[in-house]
Amino acid sequence: MKDKATVRLLRLIDFKGVAAYPVIVHSKKLKDSLIEILLTDPDVLLEVRAIQPMDAAVDGDDLVLHTRSTWIADLLRENGVFQEMKRHSLTGHYINQIE
């Protein structure tokens, strides 16, 4: 259900202001499978905030989402917003607490 909502949001905003990349994690379960999706467009974020107040999913002024879905990864690639190089997560302090 969360992945469907993520895809709907990405399509709604036409992938504008989106960056996605695999993240470096400590968890063996999440290694090589966790993708961070970053929404940075201020206009989109204003609209999202109007619909739903944001809390822990927000890092500064950006909205941070995560998925392990390979079909979402493929969709992000098809729309030219997926970067293949692994990066540290903007919410690494949170995702690396979970084993």
Per-residue pLDDT of the chain (99 residues; tens, 9 = 90+): 889 999 999 998 999 999 999 998 877 877 888 999 999 877 777 666 655 555 544 445 688 899 999 999 999 999 999 999 999 888 765 565 554
Residues with Cβ within 8 Å of residue 25, at least 6 apart in sequence: 31, 34, 89, 92, 95, 96
Which pLDDT score, from 0 to 100, does residue 60 have?
55
Q: pTM to 2 decimals?
A: 0.79
75 token code pair: 């969709």
